[in-house]
């Protein structure tokens, strides 16, 4: 299977955005909010939050109850509200208001795992990183790109096998592909632009 063909066809269908175009702080906080939450819900909550608290300094001094109200739609909002306030405090005080641009430091922030850190590097800084969420993990295995059991294993395997030029594209393309066509249940195989390269096509 040619990963170049897969990426090329998915790019033609989904037209990925310009990486590194988002403010790193917004990319970081939005990704924390997105954990176990649908994208459309995350987008609404993020807009409400950043409309009122658009900087680390502003969010650091925000009332937790107010943050909870603004992000109430997202999953586990009572846990995420104090967490993002603490992230803002650390960034504002320890890093002079600038989001760290390296994996190790990002992982030291509360509630930030590898997916969140990688998304921040890709969308906030335009760096080459492999951001793996449930869509990327599931579809990478469905297509036979990897044979892994966890998103963490998928990230490490893709870093080994995926050409670096595709790293930053893989998240957006497979997330949109997974939401649009390659769904966990009831995939729209008749519309799939890479169906002939899918190992499971004969069983569908």
- Residue 192: count of CB within 10 angstroms of its CB: 19
Both tokens of 10, joined, read 């998915």
Segment 18-43 shows an average pLDDT of 89
Please indicate whether residue 115 is annotated as part of the active site: yes
* pTM of the full structure: 0.92
| pLDDT at position 202 over 70 | no
pLDDT for 138-196, tens place per residue?
Answer: 999 999 999 999 999 999 999 999 999 999 999 999 999 999 999 999 999 999 999 99
Catalytic hit among 115, 157, 165, 188: 115
CATH 3.40.50.300 fits 24-125, yes or no: no
* pLDDT of the residue at 20: 64
**Which residue is catalytic, options 22, 80, 85, 133?**
133
Please report which confidence band the pLDDT of residue 17 belongs to, taking 50, 70 and 90 as the band edges: confident
Give the mean pLDDT of the chain: 93
In 3-state terms, the chain is what percent helix, strand and coil (to 5)? 65, 0, 35
Annotation marks residue 133 as catalytic:
yes
Q: Where are the domains of the chain?
A: 3-16+131-197, 24-125
Beta-carbon contacts of 135 under 8 Å, excluding residues fewer than 6 positions away, are 174, 175, 177, 178, 179
Using only the alpha carbons of the chain, give its radius of gyration: 18
Q: Is 119 annotated as a binding residue?
A: no
Core vs surface per residue 23-53: b (16+ CB within 10 A) or e: ebbbbbbbbbbbbebeeeebeebbeebbeeb
CATH classification code of 3-16+131-197: 1.10.1670.10
Of the chain, the percentage scoring pLDDT greater than 90 comes to 89
């Amino acid at each position: 299977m040619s990963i170049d063909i897969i990426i090329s066809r998915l790019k033609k269908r989904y037209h990925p955005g310009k990486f590194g175009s988002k403010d790193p702080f917004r990319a970081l906080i939005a990704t924390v909010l997105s954990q176990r939450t649908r994208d459309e819900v995350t987008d609404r909550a993020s807009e409400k939050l950043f409309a009122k608290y658009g900087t680390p300094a502003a969010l650091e001094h925000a009332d937790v109850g107010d943050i909870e109200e603004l992000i109430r739609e997202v999953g586990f909002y009572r846990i995420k509200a104090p967490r993002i306030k603490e992230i803002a405090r650390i960034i504002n005080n320890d890093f002079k208001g600038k989001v760290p641009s390296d994996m190790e430091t990002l992982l030291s922030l509360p509630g930030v795992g590898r997916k969140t850190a990688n998304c921040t590097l890709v969308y906030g800084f335009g760096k080459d990183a492999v951001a793996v969420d449930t869509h990327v993990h599931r579809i990478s295995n469905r297509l036979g790109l990897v044979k892994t059991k966890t998103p963490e294993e998928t990230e490490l395997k893709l870093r080994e096998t995926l050409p670096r030029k595709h790293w930053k594209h893989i998240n957006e393309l497979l997330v949109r592909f997974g939401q649009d066509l390659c769904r966990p249940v009831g995939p729209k195989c008749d519309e799939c632009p890479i169906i002939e390269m899918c190992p499971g096509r004969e069983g569908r």
